[in-house]
Amino acid sequence: MSNQLADLLAAWQAAESDTQWVLGTVYRTEGSAYRKAGAMMLINDRGQQYGLLSGGCLESDIVRNARRVMLSGRPLILTYDGSDEDDLAFQLGIGCGGTVHLMLQPLTAENNLALDAVAAALHRREPGTYYQEIGGSGARFEPGEIRPFEHSRIEAGWLVTPIRPGPHLLVLGGGIDARPLVQIAKALGWRVTLADPRPANARPEHFPGADRVLRETGPALARYAAASRVDAAVLMSHNLDLDAEGLAQLHGAGPRHIALLGPRHRFERVLARAALLESDLGCSVSGPAGLDIGGQLPESIALSILAECHRELYIRSAQAPLQVAANR
Whether 190 and 292 map to the same domain: the answer is yes
Instruction: Name the domain count of the chain.
Output: 2
CA dist 295 and 272 (Å) reads: 28
pLDDT tens, position by position, 108-142: 999 999 999 999 999 999 999 999 999 999 999 99
Of 106, 139, 163, the last residue of a domain is 163
Residue 85 has what pLDDT? Answer: 55
CATH code at position 174: 3.40.50.720
Whether 188 and 259 map to the same domain: the answer is yes
Whether 196 and 300 map to the same domain: the answer is yes
Answer whether 89's CB lies under 8 Å from 80's CB.
yes
Per DSSP, the three-state class of 177 is: coil
Of 118, 142, 163, the last residue of a domain is 163
Whether 65 and 119 map to the same domain: the answer is yes
Q: How far is CA 288 from CA 207, 259, 261, 323, in A?
A: 24, 7, 5, 6
Q: Using the predicted structure, report yes or no on whether residue 247 has a pLDDT greater than 90.
A: yes
CA dist 97 and 82 (Å) reads: 4
CA dist 116 and 21 (Å) reads: 13
Whether 42 and 173 map to the same domain: the answer is no
Of 163, 183, 214, the last residue of a domain is 163
How large is the average pLDDT for residues 250-272? 94
Q: Which residues, 6+ apart, have CB-to-CB distance to 111 below 8 Å?
A: 137, 139
Q: Pairing mode, if any, of strands 40-44 and 99-107?
A: unpaired
Between 268 and 325, where is the model more confident?
A: 268
pLDDT tens, position by position, 86-102: 555 444 555 567 899 99
Whether 159 and 240 map to the same domain: the answer is no
Give the DSSP letter of residue 256.
Answer: S
Q: What is the pTM of this model?
A: 0.84
Q: Using the predicted structure, report yes or no on whether residue 328 has a pLDDT greater than 50.
A: no
Radius of gyration of the chain (CA): 22
Q: Which residues, 6+ apart, have CB-to-CB distance to 76 below 8 Å?
A: 65, 68, 69, 103, 104
Answer whether 63's CB lies under 8 Å from 99's CB.
no
Whether 220 and 272 map to the same domain: the answer is yes
Residue 93 has what pLDDT? Answer: 52
Whether 57 and 152 map to the same domain: the answer is yes
Q: Using the predicted structure, report yes or no on whether residue 18 has a pLDDT greater than 80.
A: yes
The boundaries of the domain holding residue 87 are 5-163
Q: Using the predicted structure, report yes or no on whether residue 64 has a pLDDT greater than 50.
A: yes
Whether 127 and 28 map to the same domain: the answer is yes
CA dist 256 and 118 (Å) reads: 24
Q: Where does the pLDDT of residue 57 fall: very low under 50, low under 70, confident under 90, or very high at 90 and above?
A: confident
Whether 109 and 211 map to the same domain: the answer is no
Q: Which residues of 288-312 are buried (b: 16+ CB within 10 A; e: fewer)?
A: bbbbbeebeebebbbbbbbebbbbb
CA dist 130 and 152 (Å) reads: 9
Answer whether 295's CB lies under 8 Å from 303's CB.
yes
What residues are paired with 193 via a beta bridge?
170, 212
CA dist 43 and 62 (Å) reads: 9
Whether 203 and 146 map to the same domain: the answer is no
Whether 133 and 184 map to the same domain: the answer is no
What residues are paired with 41 via a beta bridge?
24
How large is the average pLDDT for residues 30-47? 93
